[in-house]
Amino acid sequence: MTTKVPARLDRLPWSRWHWMIVVGLGTVWILDGLEVTIIGNLSAQLAKEGSGLAITQAQVAGTAAALYVAGACLGALFFGWLTDRFGRKKMFMITMAVYLVATAATAFSFSAWWFFLFRFLTGFGIGGEYAAINSAIDELIPSRHRGRIDIIINGSYWLGAAGGALLTVPLLDNLPLNIGWRVAFGLGVVLGLAILLVRRHVPESPRWLFIHGRDREAERLVDEVEERIEREEGIPLDEPSRSMTIHQRKSIGFGRIAHTMVARYPKRTVLGLALFIGQAFLYNAVTFGYAQILSTFFGIVTHTGYYFAVIAVGNFLGPLLLGRLFDTVGRIPMISGTYIGSGVLLLGTAWLFDQGVLTAVTLTACWCVVLFFASAGASAAYLTVSEIFPMETRAMAIAFFYAIGTFAGGVSGPLVFANLVKSGRPGDTALAFCIGATLMIIAGLVELFLGVKAEGRGLEDIAQPLSAKQG
């Protein structure tokens, strides 16, 4: 079958329909940020007698955090495979439902094992979201806007992080110890339900539909979108000249996927792993452990949310202000620059912390600057693995790199960070900073040598679909 669906989607002007895609799909990262930040800032309170849980701060910031990330890794792989096989829309509805049920159950935790179990299942749902959502967004957003939109959407995680950090303060101050943290998790359920209502109107990816034998449905969907945009904008859309011929198939086997990633694109596979491991160690360690640093070294227990909110603002401003440069200046210089730059700044922060010259305020300011750059780079990691592999393997590629990179950096990060901070020696915490900085710098160097110039190019030009007719 021959189609112009990819070219028709890429030439669309930005419209209210695209904003609906952004709101319906992109806002899930706000939920993830809310989840992770709430648990990090509640760690000291949960460990207090009378919280309703017999649990320590190290278990909350270390064990529970690692289980959340492990669940996200397994969820990404499981739902990533299902997303490529059964479609984007089915999976991003199911994964949101998994998140809602698990988060609600977390709010009713009565023992440590129950808390650990449903933190794992919450991560399982969120991990599935990464694969289903990123693949759908990149396949629905025009190529000239893809970099900026994808990076800003992934960066919106930090809006949730800021909200979660600020919410913990009044909840802990004004509600009983054993109630406040439960209400915090309940707010995540309310936001998730609102997102689920908007998400019902987000369509299946026409690119996925065409390859999987549903070409009439794909053409009809694009026709409807074009008619809507022409009516809203008041201008006719030109018919694109480019087309491609596809051998339609129902599914792609694991063997073909593995061969594509290892044999056909080995350099891109190394690139994806480097970017994900670097950012996963840094972000999971800091996100889950910053409240522990504030309480251990500066005696701040209840109001850690204020400090984390400042860090979260810096994180969101990075993708927001730098995002467009990934489409104009280019992927390689921006990704390598943000990774290496944030690593160097973090090394400087580690030295200042070890010298004992930083206060809670100045340490937070340093992290805010470091993560301004790191956040844009980390968001670009998701963009990179989503656009440099063929369409049939897109969700599985996202899941694979997220799972491997996050398991290597995201599980080890919180555990290493929590144990080093627990010693109470500044040198140990500075060492944790240096490990994260080194991994970010290495990833930036890998991008410099192996990066792909994907800015402004259609997904099918960056990586030809496996189903495309050759020659």
Question: How many C-beta neighbours within 10 Å does residue 313 have?
Answer: 18
Bridge partners, 244 (sequence order): 3
The DSSP H or E segment spanning 111 is: none
Q: DSSP H helical segments within 388-458, as ranges?
A: 394-406, 412-422, 426-450
For the chain, the residue count is 471
- What lies within 8 Å, CB to CB, of 269 at 6+ separation is 261, 262
What is the three-class DSSP state of 3? strand
Q: Tens digits of per-residue pLDDT, 236-264?
A: 888 887 888 877 666 666 677 777 878 88
Angle of the 112-140 helix axis to the 394-406 helix axis, nearest 10: 140
Instruction: Give the model's pLDDT for residue 272.
Output: 92
Residue with tokens 């656009």: 387
Other beta carbons less than 10 A from residue 252's beta carbon: 21
SS3 468: strand
Strands 244-245 and 2-3, by their bridges, are antiparallel
Cβ atoms of 161 and 37 within 8 Å: the answer is yes
Tokens of 321: 């202000």
What local confidence, expressed as pLDDT, does residue 250 receive? Answer: 64
Tell whether the torsion through CA atoms of 301, 307, 309 and 311 is positive or negative: negative
Q: From CA 3, how far away is CA 467, in angstroms rounded?
A: 12
Q: What is the pLDDT of residue 455?
A: 92
Rounded CA gap, 389 and 5, in Å?
19
Give the DSSP per-residue string, 6-45: HHHHHTPPP-HHHHHHIIIIITHHHHHHHHHHHHHHHHHH
Q: Phi and psi at residue 379, in whole multiples of 5°? A: -65, -35
Q: Which residues of 10-29 are buried (b: 16+ CB within 10 A; e: fewer)?
A: bbbeebebbeebbebbbbbb
The DSSP element (H or E) to which 108 belongs, if any, is: none
Question: CA-CA distance, 433 to 104, in Å (whole number)?
Answer: 34
Are 57 and 372 spatial neighbours (Cβ–Cβ below 8 Å)?
A: no
pLDDT at residue 107, rounded to an integer: 85
DSSP tag of 456:
T
pLDDT, position 271: 94
Distance between CA atoms of 353 and 264, rounded to whole angstroms?
45
Full-model pTM:
0.81
Cβ atoms within 10 Å of 471's Cβ, excluding its own: 4
364 alpha-carbon distance from chain centroid:
22
CB 205 within 8 A of CB 394: no
pLDDT at 132: 80
Nearest to 100 by CA among 197, 175, 179: 197
Instruction: Please give the structure tokens belonging to residue 460.
Output: 């099918």
pLDDT at site 175: 73
Q: Low-confidence residues of the chain, pLDDT below 70? A: 35-37, 39-41, 43, 61, 168, 171-172, 248-254, 284-289, 301-305, 410-411, 414, 469-471
Residue listed under structure tokens 């309940």: 186
- Residue 34 to residue 38: CA distance in whole angstroms: 6
Measured in whole angstroms, how far is the alpha carbon of residue 314 from the centre of its chain?
16
